[in-house]
Amino acid sequence: MRRHRMIKIVATLGPSSSTYDMIRALFEAGADVFRLNMSHGTHDEMAQRHAIIRQVEADLGRPIGILADLQGPKLRIGTFSDGPVDLQVGQEFRLDLDKAPGDRQRVNLPHPEIFEVLEPGADLLVNDGKVRLKVNECGPDFAECTVTVGGVISDRKGVNVPDAVLPVAALSDKDRKDLEFACRLGVDWLALSFVQRPSDVLEARELAQGRAAILSKIEKPAAVKAFDEILAVSDGIMVARGDLGVELPVQNVPPIQKRLVRKARAAAKPVIVATQMLESMIESPMPTRAEVSDVATAIYEGADAVMLSAESAAGQFPIEAVTTMNNVAIEVESDPTYIDVIDASRKHVHHHSIADGIVSAARELAEKTNIAAICCFTESGTTASLVARERPHVPILALTPFVGVARRHALTWGVHCEQVTEVNRFKKAVINAVRVTRKYGFATEKDQILVTAGIPFNQPGTTNILRVAPCSEHLIIQGEPE
């Protein structure tokens, strides 16, 4: 099950993709990580899908990553007494804490925390920004607004407040229960919604207690402003362009995406580009040309992964959607321009440690000589992440005794993960590396590979050795002389 591309594919599971046959077909088509959307479905359904993924993993002998996406707090208006209301541009409309059903003049907004931070002139977005209100006057329990973009609103539509950092925790009571459930289930990544500040991430990390890596979804203007601080305390990033495009002018999203991808890569942390990538494939077996270009752009930018949401969860053509992403990735990565772009972006990566120097040397040596692959022996996964940051032109193999590390790296650019037995001698590490590269067709008997590891073994963060090794049969059978 070798992938012939570097970027990874995340596929969301749902009603269209909940059986063993479909999940296996999605993996075989190219999905590397499966996303469980905690906003939809019960814990029993999530447990069933998790069990199926692990069965597919066992049957195919390849580590598969699982990402549980927490819903986050949902800010919604109340209900209307006579059904949906059509608001006209220029009319006055009031939001308040009165629980009575709304009408054409007002509606309940049961979130006092919003009124705490509102100021005159602030914008409120309703129903994914389809209706926009500007605050004229406000207090602790009301906001008098003018409709600036009209449209129909109805019961319990969502509200966005782009101009303020809300005093709302990123984890609701539901999220805390879902987080604990997902960790006990054994997921590899937790995606945290509604992140506004580093403390949101630290709270989730404390609750997870190391049982899963924390991936911060950047979907709020406040998160963009505090991105450096959020990145520092996160294990990975998701550029969630849907909500970003609601709360910010849509033309702002592409440069933000490019900036966040580069910063995440420089930090050697995986970054997913997500939302509406192949949206038309929910109902069509073919994507639009613009969607294909969107996927290609994320690949050229050096993102670690691209993600399918409703396309694979609820769409009519989930396998076709994954296949399309896989084919686009293979084509883009074979383009000489892709290599030029990736190489040019490497200047943003700064090296400070011995490990940084080792992986930089490995990449340069691999590209200037006839090296078939870079093999990393890693306890924590850090070495593989550092090698992936370099974006070498050859495959990266992460060899680890820990299945959790292998599964987590299913999200990392270019990394082929393999669980191996623990080694305590570098000779044994080299032999294992040769066997794995030969097994999956990364190298032949005539090739050479690079092997990186830390001496002494079994101590995370000690990458300090780099060796060129021949992939000869003699080495596999007899080992090397001391």
Highest mean predicted confidence (pLDDT) among 242-256, 282-296, 442-456? 282-296
Q: Provide CB contacts within 8 A for 403, sequence distance 6+.
A: 63, 419
Element (H, E) at 10: strand 8-13
Rounded distance between C-alpha atoms, residue 293 and residue 378, angstroms: 35
pLDDT tens string 133-185: 999 999 999 999 999 999 999 999 999 998 888 888 889 999 999 999 999 99
Is residue 143 a contact partner of residue 95, using CB atoms and an 8 Å limit? yes
**Of 8, 217, 258, 438, which is the active-site residue?**
217
**Which residues in the chain are classed under CATH 2.40.33.10?**
85-160
Rounded distance between C-alpha atoms, residue 136 and residue 93, angstroms: 10
62 catalytic? Reply is: no
Q: Which residue has the higher pLDDT, 422 or 271?
A: 271
76 catalytic? Reply is: yes
**Of 35, 205, 241, 389, which is the active-site residue?**
35
Is residue 421 a contact partner of residue 429, using CB atoms and an 8 Å limit? no
Residue pointed to by tokens 């979804």: 217
**Which residues in the chain are classed under CATH 3.20.20.60?**
8-73+170-334
323 catalytic? Reply is: no
Q: Which residue has the higher pLDDT, 455 or 337?
A: 337
Q: Provide CB contacts within 8 A for 99, sequence distance 6+.
A: 78, 108, 110
Architecture of domain 85-160: Beta Barrel (2.40)
> What is the pLDDT, as a whole number, of residue 345?
84
Is residue 43 a contact partner of residue 184, using CB atoms and an 8 Å limit? no
pLDDT tens string 71-127: 998 899 999 999 999 999 999 999 999 999 999 999 999 999 999 999 999 999 999
**Of 74, 76, 259, 435, which is the active-site residue?**
76
3-state secondary structure of 351: coil
| Exposed / middle / buried, residue 439 (Cβ in 10 Å: 0-12, 13-18, 19+) | exposed
Is the domain spanning 350-478 CATH 3.40.50.1220? The answer is no
Rounded distance between C-alpha atoms, residue 62 and residue 384, angstroms: 17
**Of 241, 258, 265, 275, which is the active-site residue?**
275
269 catalytic? Reply is: no
> What is the pLDDT, as a whole number, of residue 482?
36
Rounded distance between C-alpha atoms, residue 260 and residue 239, angstroms: 8
Q: Once rounded to an integer, what is the mean pLDDT over residues 13-32? A: 98
Is residue 105 a contact partner of residue 78, using CB atoms and an 8 Å limit? no
Fold of 8-73+170-334: TIM Barrel (3.20.20)
Peptide bond into 456 cis (omega under 30): yes
Rounded distance between C-alpha atoms, residue 349 and residue 283, angstroms: 41
Q: Provide CB contacts within 8 A for 398, sequence distance 6+.
A: 376, 378, 381, 383, 384, 405, 406, 409, 412, 415, 416, 417, 418
Q: What is the pTM of this model?
A: 0.92
pLDDT tens string 243-277: 898 889 999 999 999 999 999 999 999 999 999 99
When the pLDDT of each residue in the chain is averaged and rounded to a whole number, the result is: 93
